[in-house]
Amino acid sequence: MSATAPASVPRFAGRGWTGSRLPWVVLALVVGVSLWAGAAPRHTPSLDQRVRQVAADVRCPSCTDLTAADSNAPTAVAVRQTIRQGLQQGQSPAQIESWLAGRYGRDILLRPPTRGVAGLVWELPVAGAVIALGALAFAFARWRRAVSGGDPAEADRRLVEEALARSGGPPGDEP
């Protein structure tokens, strides 16, 4: 009996369309549909929801630790009314926040600006993380080169041979 397979038996292991490309096409389809479904807007927020979103990023002018969305103080109610009017007039949240900052000062905004010197609050942590990761990668690569110096030195071979001679030979040589 021959050890090879008969010529009539097809060998498909990892070959052709079904073996190599089909899983990648299916994966691409699943990823594409998932991204499309995740990016599709669920619903348009109502005016009240949009007012609350903008007011959540604005400090109450007369309160200590509350946002304009959370406070019932007359000044917070006035800020929410100003936000509502701005949104009804078609202004963007950034335009409304800019107007409020001009009227009440930059301290009314709970998020620091992303430009200028204040933008460093956002950029420095990212830059620090990138530099730290780069330094770690460099250190690990350098350490790997130092550890894997290639073939063992002659002194190391001699030590192994002496240890084997004292122990009676390499393991597995017992009768």
Residue 63 CB burial class (10 angstroms; 0-12, 13-18, ≥19)? middle
CA–CA distance, 148 with 16 (Å, rounded to integer): 40
Choice among 19-23, 44-48, 75-79 with the minimum mean pLDDT: 19-23
Per residue in 99-140, pLDDT tens? 998 998 888 888 866 677 777 877 889 999 999 999 999 998
| Stronger pLDDT, 167 or 59, i.e. the higher one | 59
Query: Sign of dihedral through CA atoms 67, 69, 72, 76?
Result: positive
Per-residue confidence (pLDDT) for residue 36, from 0 to 100: 85
Can you tell me whether residue 93 is helix, strand or coil? helix
Backbone angles phi, psi at 109, to 5 degrees: -85, 130
Higher pLDDT, 140 or 174: 140
Contact between residue 40 and residue 46 where contact means Cβ atoms under 8 Å apart:
no
Say which amino acid occupies 90: G
CB atoms within 10 A of CB 39: 7
Q: How confident is the model at residue 171 (pLDDT cuts 50, 70, 90)?
A: low
* Average pLDDT value for residue range 147-160: 74
| CATH, domain range 47-108 | 1.10.8.640
- Quick: pLDDT tens for 85-101: 999 999 999 899 999 98
Look up tokens 């905004």; give the residue: 109
Domain edges within the chain: 47-108, 113-148
- pTM > 0.75: yes or no: no
What per-residue confidence (pLDDT) applies to 10? 52
pLDDT, mean of residues 29-49: 83
Q: What share of the chain is helix, strand, coil (3-state, %, to 5)?
A: 60, 0, 35
Is residue 175's pLDDT more than 60?
no
